[in-house]
Structure 1
Amino acid sequence: MSRFSPLEWPVLRQLRGADPLGRGSAVTSARTRATTPRTATADRVVRSICPYCAVGCGQRIFVKDDKVVQIEGDPDSPISRGRLCPKGAASEQLVNFPNRVTTVRYRAPHATDWQDLDLDTALDMIADRFLEARRAHWEDLDEKGHPLRRTMGIASLGGATIDNEENYLAKKLFTAAGAIQMENQARI
């Protein structure tokens, strides 16, 4: 490490150089000038949508060696025009968090331990339980013979992280299944 010279003090460097007002090169250190942004070294850029709310802000995801290194707002997005809220800007931490659960976890009724399931098994279990609840609680007619064609055994609680199109499809699915109890976390 070289010895620090008083001539390299920021104020003296500023007054000696081509930037006497201190708005450019005079205020940057050698370390700062040698630093490159993570976005410059990325292998590729993937466009996506922020996962946190239903606004649908566009994101540019910078990937290096198949690992997300930076997430920024997408300036081409007509919704967010390159801006992200603090949660959206920090979503890189969501992807790279070392304790992130990446498998389907299942805890059987009355069990104390969780077990890993493959995705196909978990989806089959959900479908079987959905159909059984619909079948067990189906109401075709009321006591006066009026048609009901509904089930009281299924309810839907949607989240604010899905967009309008996904909410539309969820509403159609649950209506077709006969469910009448549909709520959304954004309204509660």
Structure 2
Amino acid sequence: MVKKTLLNWPVLRQLRAGDMFGRDRSTQSKKSATLTPRIAEADRMVKSVCPYCAVGCSQRVYVKDEKVIQIEGDPDSPISRGRLCPKGSASEQLVNSSTRVTDVLYRAPHSTEWVKIDREKALDMIADRFLEARRNGWQDLDEKGRKVNRTLGLAGLGGATLDNEENYLIKKLFTAAGAIQLENQARI
């Protein structure tokens, strides 16, 4: 262990070494000299987009043994230039949270319990209900006898966490299905 004296003060070491900007070894502590980046052990890096808002900040997701170990802003992004807001910076906690629900849960009408169901079964249930609502609310003609070919049984609400492309596809889907009640939370 090195005895602490005034001569070991980092500013004096910096001056003795001629390191005017504090970028040389003279300003490093033993601890900082042994530090390694959090991403050093990653097997691979995958580019992604932050899930929280419509800005679309790019992320670098570092994976080790098929588990996310770190998420950082992507400096190559023209949108965020490597920066993330506090929520985006904490998105690794979202991915690895012990309370994250990863199963499809279903609560039947009038039930008080959630049950796990198969993902395929859930998608079939959603498709069946979508088609039934479209069929039950379909109008060929309005009250004045004009041809409208629409349904009032469906409505679409886009979210600010979706990017423009996703909202565009949702709009196309609902328009093709005959829905006329389409909105986005960003306008509400």
Superposition TM-score, scaled by structure 2 size = 0.89
Where in structure 2 are there 5+ consecutive unaligned residues? none
Identify which range, 176-185 or 21-30, moves more after superposition: 21-30
Residue in 1 aligned with 2:177?
177
How large is the Cα RMSD of the aligned pairs? 2.0
Q: Are positions 1:23 and 2:17 aligned together?
A: no
Q: Deviations over 1:49-69 (max 9, x none)?
A: 111112222111111121111
Q: SS at the partner of 1:160?
A: coil
Q: Distance in 1 between matches of 2:125 and 2:32?
A: 55
Letter in 1 for 2:150: R
Q: Distance in 2 between matches of 1:33 and 1:147?
A: 76
Residue in 1 aligned with 2:81?
81
Q: Are positions 1:5 and 2:7 aligned together?
A: no
Equivalence map 1:48-127=2 (5 Å): 48-127=48-127
Could you list the runs of 4 or more consecutive aligned residues of structure 1 that deviate by over 4 angstroms after TM superposition? 19-22
> What fraction of aligned residue pairs are identical, expressed as a percent?
65
Letter in 2 for 1:97: S
Report the Cα offset of residue 113 of structure 1. 0.7
Q: Deviations over 1:123-142 (max 9, x none)?
A: 00000111111111111112
Contact 1:10-1:26 at 8 Å conserved across structures:
no
Contact 1:75-1:83 at 8 Å conserved across structures:
yes
Q: Distance in 1 between matches of 2:120 and 2:87?
A: 32
Identify which range, 64-73 or 78-87, moves more after superposition: 78-87
Superposition TM-score, scaled by structure 1 size = 0.89
Q: Distance in 2 between matches of 1:51 and 1:13?
A: 43
How many matched pairs? 185
